[in-house]
Chain A
Amino acid sequence: MTDSSRQRVALALAINGRRHRVTIEPSTTLLDLLRDELGLFGTKKGCDMGACGACTVLVDGRRINACLALAVMQEGRDVQTIEGLAEGEALHPLQQAFVEHDALQCGYCTPGQIMSALGLIGEGRATDAAGIAEQMSGNLCRCGAHPNIVAAIAAYAGA
């Protein structure tokens, strides 16, 4: 990339209910915007190529890989990240379910798993454990915490 292409552009979007105005390079991904520009480090970079799910966030309620989405395309949209779930000290019930089911080991995939599960539940597809396992397969967990992850999601979704 040459420097002349690094013309910055303005962007307005909502993140966890708060409006943000930023100027960024057009090539900035949503993931880099969150992490590097806004200091929201809860969303992880596992592969930066759209294949591990560690960077999953919700945009207008739909789950996407933030590493594959350009930030500038989120103009006017509503982005939800892991930081937006708990209310003060009170965990979101899905976060609580992850804690209770030991649905994590190293924790690096956990924020992505939780956001992806919220998206899945929003899609109305978290109907049984087998379905959850199938629909969560885009979120890799190298520690192999899958059984507990699926159990936590099923418990929260009442599946």
Chain B
Amino acid sequence: MSAATLSPRHGAVSSSVRHDSALKHTTGEAIYLDDQAGPPGMLHAALVTSPVAHGRLKGIDAAAALAMPGVVAMITAADIPGVNDVAPVGKDEPALATDKVEYLGHPVAIVVAATRDRAVHAAEAVRLNIEELPPVLTIEAALANESVVWPVMEMKRGDWAAAIAGAPQRLTGQVKVGGQEHFYLEGQIALAIPGEDGDMRLVASTQHPTEVQHIVSRLLGLPYNAVTTEVRRLGGGFGGKESQASLVAGLAALAARKTAKPVKLRLDRATDMRVTGKRHDFLARYEVGFDDEGRIRGLDILLASRAGWSADHSPPVMTRALCHIDNAYYLPATRARGFCCKTNTQSNTAFRGFGGPQGAAAIEAVVEHIARHLGRDPLAVRQLNYYGDGGRDVTPYGQRVFDNLLPRVTQEMLASSDWTARRAAIDAFNASSPVVKRGLGFMPLKFGVSFNLPTLNQGGALVHIYADGSIRLNHGGTEMGQGLHTKVAQVVADVFKVDLDRIKITATTTAEVPNTSATAASTGSDLNGMAAFAAANTIKERLIGFAAAHFGAALDQVVFQDNQVRAGNHVLDFGELAHLAWFHRISLSATGFYRTPDISWDPQSMTGEPFYYFSYGAAVAEVAIDTLTGEHKVLRADLLQDCGRSLNPAIDLGQIEGAFVQGMGWVTCEELWWDAQGRLRTDGPSTYKIPGSRDVPPIFNVRILENSPNPRPTIYRSKAIGEPPLLLAIAVWSALRDAVASLGDHRVPVSLDAPATPERVLFACEDMKRRAALR
């Protein structure tokens, strides 16, 4: 028996342990994909992309480009040995254009050269012969043409038409919310390394290593076991490195196959923004029937998203939008339809929230419309419509809201934000301030956790203990800053009751944990944490059995504690036990697997219980607007977010703050703008404005809801955190509307689309003044 370490164990579950790479991030030693000298002989690729939004591709003239020094090869669709398709969900989404180009930026060919500069210059020298066709560039135009990438979806409950017709009050309206560029600070990048027997190894900045594997296999005509994907960390993903990363990796693999050399493809910022998809902008048109107090009786709503040129993730994004069209509200009779509009623009994709934010934003606008129409406080109308008891607890898709925390989070938020007093103070301020107006906004949140498609809700892990007691952890999730690796390592450390630094965190790879889902839908720690828990417990049970037999103790007398193991009267270091177990030929390696129980989804009827649980929250935001210029500022934000029993409060707080700021960008300053030719004009940080440090509210109170363990048996009763808090930023949009509404004494509905740029706020003010004067 060696000297015991009596200090409390470092890195326990529910403690605020640092991000696993915190130190390396501050010293610059954390290695991202572009921070490595590539393998010997590595070449660089650059893309040839369509200069027009729509056209027939007649020819590619690469003579000049191929003659340039250092240029090795050009790859077009004709060179693809397998199937030219990178669709994650549907099919027929070519990696390289064949006979038509469908957006400005559509990849047509890849040029490979000795250096990146030479590849880029040669790519510019490739001449494309394209016969231009008229493009469809807006949701409205696509709707008018019934141009969609997917069959129209319909979620229905009850006799919505009769409910609306029979309601004492009725309104119709329209609202638009904008898209969003991911702007991960590390751009898209992949390195493809050919191996023996036609094998291909991909090192990629991807949230979905398995999908990279599948798509590269498809493009190259290989079985999955010939392709391996590896990723240590991403410099941000936010959904932008799911399917879009598979495209980039797929193109790198095609170039590597053709040249038989390692090839790196890194998109520069403008190319990245022109080529890859973004958050979908949405248009919502609605008719709503309600009673004289504002209680909704029936809703008929149409959601139309800009899918872009192909389906990509548009169908599941629309599904999630429709599943969040209720947000916090009971909608007794509903028809909600979803149109994924086909446009000649980038193929839009996953982005933190995955349609949830757009769905919730739409219903928030509807509820506020009702409130202002009735001259009632939007907060009161919100609360009136909350999910509750007495049958008011079933979503339009048929799932019961079994774990409703809305009344609690609302009450706590109103108290902690001092709502009543501030409401009065703001009204008083506005009464005496003719130009600058203040607004107070509220956002209640209910977000469904799990992938809508039950199949995807599975996770895997692989844990080894070496004979010295050091532990190696691998799981299917990817680390993109959200602290997933830290959380999963905390779980394993807790099973063995050892210090966190005993556990080596390793790169995610399809070679160690196969058939994984994307690190997405906020499910990273739910799925992989549980899988790692299972793997670690398998080994632990073996160790318990071994120690009991070896030391002649009962099974329940073998206890792991503070880096040690006690077996009856024997106490030994965890490392000593590992060594002993190895010596006696006990297997110290195990896989773990988890599938979320009790979930179901029928995509035809759009009903089921798709979410294992809901995450709740509430936010209050206060803004000031200048009614003569539209300029505005968020003065204060208060957030309360349910994390269940947080696995790591420090990491969760960072997620809440970061998601809120990102959401604030989405609803205020981030505007994507295409010109009449379909060229994205906001293709860099100088034209596309993401929030910076000066945009963070000067008073920013962020809290995790206390004492609310997940009623479901999730990993240590925690809840997912990646996406839900992004929706809290809708409070800012709500506050801006409130400020505008003050110009009409809060009795005239506000029309203010998102992003609420100064321009839109100004127009909304002008519009409000005009309409208020007419009353």
A binds B: yes
Query: How far, in angstroms, from A114 to B27 measured CA to CA in the complex?
Result: 9
Shortest beta-carbon distance from A135 to chain B in Å: 9
The interface residues of chain A lying within 8 Å CB-to-CB of B22 are 98-99, 102, 104
Indicate whether A39 reaches chain B with its CB closer than 8 angstroms: yes
Contacts of B34 in A (CB 8 A): 41, 45
Question: Does B428 make an interface contact (CB < 8 A)?
Answer: no
**Residues on A with beta carbons closer than 8 Å to the beta carbon of B185:** 44, 46, 52, 54, 106, 108-109, 140-143
Which of A7-15, A69-77, A78-86 participates in binding chain B? A78-86
Q: Find residues 42-56 in chain A having any chain B CB closer than 8 Å to their own CB.
A: 42-49, 51-52, 54
Most buried by B among A35, A43, A46, A143: A143
Q: Digitize B655-676: 1 where CB-to-A-CB distance is under 8 Å, 0 elsewhere.
A: 1011111100000000000000
Q: Which of B117, B235, B654, B660 contacts A108 (CB 8 A)?
A: B235
- For A103, the closest partner residue in chain B by CB is B26
Residue contact A44 to B25, C-beta cutoff 8 Å: no
Choose among B28, B121, B236, B700 the residue that contacts A143 (Cβ–Cβ < 8 A): B236
Residues of chain B from 395 to 434 with CB closer than 8 A to chain A in the complex: none
**From residue A52, how far is it (CB to closest CB) to chain B in Å?**
5
Interface residues of B in 323-353 (CB under 8 A from A): none
Residues of chain A within 8 A of B511, CB atoms compared: none
C-alpha gap A46/B236 in the complex (Å): 11
By secondary structure, the B interface counts as loop
Which chain B residue lies CB-closest to A99?
A: B22
Given contacts A49-B685, A51-B685, A51-B686, are A107 and B24 in contact (CB under 8 A)?
yes
B18 and A102 form a contact (CB under 8 A): yes
Of A39, A44, A51, A147, the most chain B CB neighbours within 10 A belong to: A147
A/B pair count, beta carbons within 8 Å: 174
Q: In which size bucket is the chain A interface?
A: 35 or more
B684 at the binding interface (Cβ < 8 Å): yes
* Minimum C-beta distance from B54 to chain A (A): 28
State whether A136 touches B693 (Cβ < 8 A).
yes
| CA distance in complex: A65, B692 (Å) | 17
B657 touches A107 (CB 8 A): no
Interface: B696 (CB within 8 A): yes
A105-B693 CB under 8 A given contacts A48-B269, A83-B28:
no
On chain B, the number of residues with a Cβ less than 8 Å from chain A's Cβ atoms is: 62
Question: Do A91 and B26 contact each other (CB < 8 Å), given the known contacts A141-B185, A142-B184?
Answer: yes
B482 within 8 A of A: yes
Q: CA of A108 to CA of B238 in the docked complex: distance in angstroms? A: 14
For A133, A136, A139, A144, the residue with the greatest tally of chain B CB atoms inside 10 Å of its CB is: A144
- B346 CB to nearest A CB, Å: 18
Q: Which residues of B contact A114 (CB under 8 A)?
A: 26
Which of B35, B233, B661 contacts A146, CB < 8 Å? B661
CB distance B183 to A142 under 8 Å?
A: yes
* A49:B269 contact, CB within 8 angstroms: yes
CA gap between A145 and B692 in the complex, in Å? 10
Q: Is A119 an interface residue (CB 8 A)?
A: no
Interface of A is mostly: loop
Asked if B690 contacts A142 (CB within 8 A), the reply is: yes
Q: Which of A133, A134, A138 has the most CB of B within 10 A?
A: A133
Given contacts A99-B18, A105-B654, A108-B236, contact A144 B685 (CB under 8 A): no
Q: Which residues of B contact A85 (CB under 8 A)?
A: 27
Query: In the complex, which of the residues B117, B235, B695 has the most CB atoms of chain A within 10 Å of its own CB atom?
Result: B235
A150 CA / B650 CA spacing, docked (Å)? 16
In the bound complex, residues from chain B placing their C-beta under 8 Å from that of A145 are 654, 657-658
- Give the one of B18, B35, B660 with max A CB within 10 A: B35
Determine if A106 and B234 form an interchain contact, defined as CB atoms under 8 angstroms apart: yes
Given the known inter-chain contacts A95-B27, A111-B28, please indicate yes or no for A105 contacting B692, CB distance below 8 A: no
What are 25 contact pairs spanning A and B, CB under 8 A?
A41-B35, A44-B32, A44-B235, A47-B269, A49-B270, A82-B27, A98-B26, A99-B26, A102-B650, A104-B19, A106-B481, A107-B235, A108-B32, A108-B236, A111-B28, A114-B26, A133-B693, A137-B693, A140-B685, A142-B662, A142-B690, A143-B481, A143-B658, A144-B691, A146-B696
A-B interface, 4 closest residue pairs, ranked by CB to CB distance from nearest:
A42-B28, A106-B481, A144-B658, A107-B25
- A-side residues, CB < 8 A to B, are 1, 3, 35, 39, 41-49, 51-52, 54, 81-83, 85-86, 91, 95-96, 98-99, 102, 104-111, 114, 130, 132-134, 136-150
Beyond contacts A44-B235, A106-B233: 13 other A-B pairs, Cβ-Cβ < 8 A, are A41-B28, A41-B34, A46-B187, A91-B26, A99-B22, A104-B19, A107-B30, A107-B481, A108-B186, A130-B698, A133-B694, A144-B661, A146-B696
Which B residues fall within an 8 A CB radius of A?
Answer: 18-19, 21-32, 34-37, 69, 117, 121, 182-187, 233-236, 238, 268-270, 480-483, 650-651, 653-655, 657-662, 684-686, 690-696, 698, 700
